[in-house]
Amino acid sequence: MVRTPMYRIALLALVLCSAAGAQISLWQIGGAGLAWDGSDTTRIIMDISAERIRPVYFADGDNMFLAVAGWSELIVPRELGYIDGHQPRLWYTDGTNVNQTSYYDSPLYVDGLRSTYNTARDGWWTLDIGVPVPARRFGFATPTEGVRSDGVPLNQDPVPAFEVSVAAEASDILAQRGYHRLNTLIADVPVNFEPEVAIDFPQQYVRFVRYQRKESVLDEQRTTDSNTVRGTIAEFVLSGRGVPKRAIYRSKILDLGAEVNFGRLAWAARTMRMVGAQAVVSPDAAAWVEVEVRAGRDGDPNIYHEYTDSGREFVVTRQRYEGELRLPETEGILQIDRQPGIRASIGYDSEHWSFWSSPITESGTWLDLRNGSHLQLQITLQSRSFGDWVELDSLWIETSPPLAAQIVGEVARAADMQPPLGFVQVELGAQETFVYDVRASFASATEEGFDRVRVHTGIAPEFVRLEMGDPLAVVDPLAVVEGDASLEVLLPHKVRAAANEPLRVVFAAEVFARATTFTGEVLTEGESRLPQPIEPGDASSAVSTNSLRVLGAADKSAAIIQRVRLASGVVTPNGDRVNDRLALEYALFLLPAPVPVVLDVYDLAGNRRAHVEVGTQGPGPQRAFWDGRDAQGALLPPGLYVLELALETETQHEPARLPVGLAY
């Protein structure tokens, strides 16, 4: 996505404002910021320089297997922090052990050298390049030199029979015992005499290739050396033209030097298209940027464990875990009992690290991250076309000093602030009064404190009261803003280190989803500092939930679309501004995320006469409109019609249907 000139002006203004002494500044990678090259831990099919990142563009004849490095010989690599798709794998299986290593130095098959080789052996190899690439040819060849033990030159020792299948994405087939083809079979050759095999197939995205050495009538012509199996392979080759479906860049844990709050994330990028042999800027290219971010308060998001004498686990340093403790297996066969000196589990340090954000696809998006001193990025350059890609020049994140060392909050029903089960549960669609307790902790005089609290309710809330002090007492806020999906309260005075008062916001709202998190943040009025998120935690002894989440109770058969009603039973699009368009009101329940909503209009014979794409809507009260016209904008004949409101989801649900009259 290309940043607009207006956004360039906004960023420039922000930089100038920062230089003038304001508190908001920009952290940057790429361009004049931190270099892309050298700041990463993972790069999968990514072309990287100091100034920009982009996917690798493969030309015909390029061996795609050579575009990645660090091949593992296990289906589940033992490297710390292994992530599926972030490391290439080439493993051998004979049907007895799914996670069997080849023991034959499998990476020799993808080292780019025809002088290194392995025998074909009975069994099969699976190659995982990490991401789907635009392939249209797979092949393998015999070595250029060497002699078999029976005197046959290796370049005259082709694989006598084989089968090859491919797949674009991972599936359960990979982990099943016994041989199973992948999704698409591209070759099944019972007899082969060719030392160099090239299999052409329609260009498609390929991540996995499975090669099986099959039995052949030529195997009966074996030499007297019973340990010699016909067929020697020096190199596997995968080729095609274009860019991968996705290319991945994951940064190191980046030290920001101080704890900060985070604001908007923005980037400078351009979409490209290959036209003939020329790469040109193309605004309509089917390619985009996805960014995920996480922040922490130290340099490692993991917690490492060792076994005790009793087989339990205790925390150890990463240095001990990596350098002193042993893997739970030796020789790849013997399983060692749980005992001191053996690696136990690796956990996630959620106390000091946020979880990864949802993928961000729009430049200028606000980050929902708690404050931290360390940052990690994962950038995926996506493409839906072999010849389209996006190049990312630089990326910015707004930062400012924190308002407090930590802001914690917890929510509960006002009628039951200490629920017996420890969590809040309410009836879906029923208005409920909630208490939202907030407490701050301060660590230094540079933390300015806050005088506003904003709660994201998801639907329109109703403010009830504000309480502050110890003990809590009702106070009058300076202002209250009730939004469509949030509530903002301006406090009568600032909460700061010298006057650190706990506070409680009481509001009424409805819950329409099985799980709703009332996220929130604190702000300071009239100062150039970013909001600071409210973290779930123990904010008050009067509330026992330590959580910002509310669960909605509903029957499993409850409808997703409820409370459907028409503002009028007749639409009269005659231009008099009375019922010129029909307003359909309804509420959506149980949706975990916003979904596309459509409104179809049928005549009494069952023919669809109009189709309205309402847009993406989430849980809660919603509206849709129809102006009495068909898809071409022409008025439908007067009469009786049936409206059908439906969601475009994979989950089965019952649409809502209502009759409506059209008259003019």
pLDDT tens digit sequence for 337-382: 688 999 999 999 999 999 999 999 999 999 989 999 999 999 999 9
Q: In this structure, are 495 and 595 located in the same domain?
A: no
CATH of the domain at 361: 2.60.120
What is the number of H-type helices and E-type strands within the chain? 2, 46
Count up the domains in the chain and report the number.
Answer: 5
- The most confident of the ranges 11-20, 144-153, 306-315 is 306-315
Q: In the predicted model, is pLDDT for residue 173 greater than 80?
A: yes
CATH of the domain at 482: 2.60.40.740
Q: In this structure, are 341 and 365 located in the same domain?
A: no
Q: In this structure, are 412 and 386 located in the same domain?
A: no
Angle, alpha carbons 377-302-522 (nearest 5°): 60
d(CA 189, CA 191): 6
pLDDT band at 553 (very low <50, low <70, confident <90, very high): confident
Spatial contact of 380 and 246, defined as CB atoms under 8 Å apart: yes
- pLDDT, position 2: 34
Q: In this structure, are 640 and 622 located in the same domain?
A: yes
- Tell me the three-class secondary structure of 357-406, residue by residue: CCCECCCCEECCCCCEEEEEEEEEEEECCCCEEEEEEEEEEEEECCCCCE
CA separation, residue 198 to residues 139, 217, 502 (Å):
4, 22, 72
Spatial contact of 477 and 466, defined as CB atoms under 8 Å apart: yes
Q: In this structure, are 106 and 255 located in the same domain?
A: no
CATH of the domain at 108: 2.60.120.260
Domain of 316, in residue numbers: 302-348
Q: In this structure, are 235 and 134 located in the same domain?
A: yes
Q: In this structure, are 215 and 186 located in the same domain?
A: yes
Of 602, 603, 571, nearest to 584 (Cα)? 571
Q: In the predicted model, is pLDDT for residue 305 greater than 70?
A: yes
Tell me the percentage of the chain whose pLDDT exceeds 90: 70
* pLDDT, tens digit (0-9, with 9 covering 90-100), for 27-55: 999 998 999 999 999 999 999 988 899 99
DSSP-assigned states of every residue in 41-101: EEEESEEE-SS-EEEPPBPTT--GGGG----BSSSS--STT--TTSS-EEEEE-SS-TT--
Q: In this structure, are 195 and 275 located in the same domain?
A: no
Q: In the predicted model, is pLDDT for residue 393 greater than 70?
A: yes
Q: In the predicted model, is pLDDT for residue 643 greater than 90?
A: yes
- Look up residue 132 and give its DSSP letter: E
Q: In this structure, are 532 and 472 located in the same domain?
A: yes
Q: In this structure, are 549 and 583 located in the same domain?
A: no
Question: Which of 369, 399, 429 lies at the terminal end of a domain, its last residue?
Answer: 399
Question: Which of 498, 522, 553 lies at the terminal end of a domain, its last residue?
Answer: 553
* pLDDT, tens digit (0-9, with 9 covering 90-100), for 269-299: 999 999 999 999 999 999 999 999 999 999 9
- Look up residue 242 and give its DSSP letter: B
- The most confident of the ranges 221-235, 490-504, 544-558 is 490-504
- pLDDT, position 567: 83
d(CA 97, CA 103): 13
Q: In this structure, are 376 and 445 located in the same domain?
A: no
Tell me the percentage of the chain whose pLDDT exceeds 70: 91
Q: 636 or 216, which is more confident? A: 636
Cβ neighbour number for residue 195 with a 10 Å cutoff: 19
Calculate the average pLDDT of the chain: 89
For 33, half-sphere exposure in the C-beta direction (CA atoms, 13 angstrom radius) is: 18
CATH of the domain at 629: 2.60.40.4070
* pLDDT, tens digit (0-9, with 9 covering 90-100), for 213-260: 988 777 765 544 444 567 899 999 999 999 999 999 999 999 999 999
d(CA 387, CA 413): 55
d(CA 93, CA 77): 15
Spatial contact of 360 and 291, defined as CB atoms under 8 Å apart: yes
Q: In the predicted model, is pLDDT for residue 21 greater than 50?
A: no
User: How much helix, strand and coil, in percent to the nearest 5, is found in the chain?
Assistant: 5, 50, 45
Q: In this structure, are 503 and 422 located in the same domain?
A: yes
- pLDDT, position 517: 94
Which segment of 218-227, 451-460, 618-627, 644-653 scores lowest on mean pLDDT?
218-227
Region 616-642 average pLDDT: 91
Of 464, 514, 519, nearest to 486 (Cα)? 519
- pLDDT, position 408: 97
- pLDDT, position 220: 61
Which segment of 3-7, 442-446, 515-519, 549-553 scores lowest on mean pLDDT?
3-7
Of 19, 38, 15, 16, nearest to 28 (Cα)? 15
- pLDDT, position 333: 43
Burial 100-127 (b: 16+ CB within 10 A, else e): bebeeebbbbbbeebeebbbbbebbbbb
d(CA 394, CA 558): 47
pLDDT band at 96 (very low <50, low <70, confident <90, very high): low
- pLDDT, position 576: 81
Cβ neighbour number for residue 143 with a 10 Å cutoff: 21
Question: Which of 534, 553, 572 lies at the terminal end of a domain, its last residue?
Answer: 553
